[in-house]
Amino acid sequence: MSRNPIVPFILIFALGIGLIFFMSLYGLEQKEEIAKDANGETEEVEDVAEFDPAEVAQGKCVSCHGGNLEGGGGPALAGTDLSHDELVEIIKNGTDGGMPGGLITNPTELDEMADYILSLE
């Protein structure tokens, strides 16, 4: 008994037509959302993690200021004599001595980081 070589092609064709049909039904259910996307009316939800100054310090500061921020390649942050405003300025703009600027740019986060540094003993 020989097999008909056209049967697999017919099955694939039928499967493709069925998938197109079901995908179009799914599209009909989503048509309002798709129309909003096309018109740029979607609500973009920003995934913002809560700012944790201690976590940021461990990620960005310890390489120069030491594991406990008590000094290393850079000056000690714990027990600093700098004021809040001076710290904000340095964190925002950096220094000529090697501290890069722009590590934190959000004004609220700058204040929180300066407060965190001032709380270190």
Better-scored residue on pLDDT, 75 or 12: 12
Q: Could you tell me if 22 and 74 lie in one domain?
A: no
pLDDT value at residue 48: 59
- Kindly state the average pLDDT of the residues 2-24: 89
Query: For the chain, what is the domain count?
Result: 2
Are 14 and 7 a contacting pair, CB within 8 Å? no
Do the domain assignments include residue 44?
no
pLDDT in tens, 27-61: 777 777 777 777 776 555 555 578 888 888 888 88
Output DSSP code: residue 42.
-
> What single letter denotes the amino acid at residue 118?
L
pTM above 0.85, yes or no: no
Are 77 and 118 a contacting pair, CB within 8 Å? no
Q: Could you tell me if 113 and 58 lie in one domain?
A: yes
Calculate the average pLDDT of the chain: 83
Do the domain assignments include residue 47?
no
- Look at residue 25 and tell me whether its pLDDT is greater than 80: yes
Better-scored residue on pLDDT, 88 or 34: 88
